Amino acid sequence: MTQAQLSFVHRFQAGENTDRPPVLLLHGTGGNETDLLPLGRLVAPGAALLSPRGQVLEGGVMPRFFRRLAEGVFDEADLRERTHELADFVSEARAAYGLDAPIAVGFSNGANIAAAMLLLRPGVLRGAALLRAMVPFAEPPQVADAAGQRVLLSSGREDPIIAVDNASRLAGQLQHAGIETTHHILDAGHGLTNEDVALTRDWINASF
């Protein structure tokens, strides 16, 4: 399908199964709008796929969805602004392509902005698979109503970037906001594994 001219550079692939909710794919640092399309086809066969490119360039070359001040230290003001921009893009894309509210599948930086969107803009997403996510805000925002949303959080026990206790704290924040959260801690590092793929596919099939 021809890509609509929207606020984010993106790829859209129409779904073959209109009963499946669309999937919003959010790449990690240095990725782009094509990186997670194969993952989307694996975890949600037949679903429509929407994959934007982050609009921040780290070091002038690596796309991200928001700025960071150092490894694991986020520019929270920028994160809030970029989260609202991404949520607005999702609304644009839904109108342009005739989509229902999507499930997000995000990796690393993409998972972090998906977590921020769940907290700042509840209702934009039906749920999210957060693969290697960490706490996005030092003080979580007050969420008006996030009930009915579901989250899969998949962490690596040997992840050198995200400590397991940080990911567990994120799970607690999401649960406190009323989001049904399933947290798996895998024998893995920061990179994705076949187990992540299988867990995400099974979670989407069971939850949606």
Residue partners of 184: CB distance under 8 A and separation at least 6:
152, 153, 154, 155, 199
CA distance linking residue 129 with residue 43, whole number of Å: 10
Question: Which residue type is seen at 192?
Answer: L
Give the burial class of 38: count Cβ atoms within 10 A of its Cβ; 0-12 exposed, 13-18 middle, 19 or more buried: exposed
Q: Which one is catalytic: 51, 108, 154, 155?
A: 108
Annotate 65-101 with b (16+ C-beta within 10 A) or e (fewer): bbbbeeeeebebebbbebbeebbebbebbbeebebeb
Tell me if residue 78 is catalytic: no
Angle at 187 between CA 110 and CA 135, to 5 degrees: 35
Q: Which one is catalytic: 78, 84, 184, 190?
A: 190
Tell me if residue 184 is catalytic: no
CA distance linking residue 89 with residue 61, whole number of Å: 22
Residue partners of 186: CB distance under 8 A and separation at least 6:
154, 155, 156, 157, 193, 195, 196
Cβ contact 200:131 at 8 Å: yes
Q: Which one is catalytic: 51, 159, 183, 196?
A: 159
CA distance linking residue 197 with residue 205, whole number of Å: 12
By annotation, the residues acting in catalysis are: 108, 159, 190
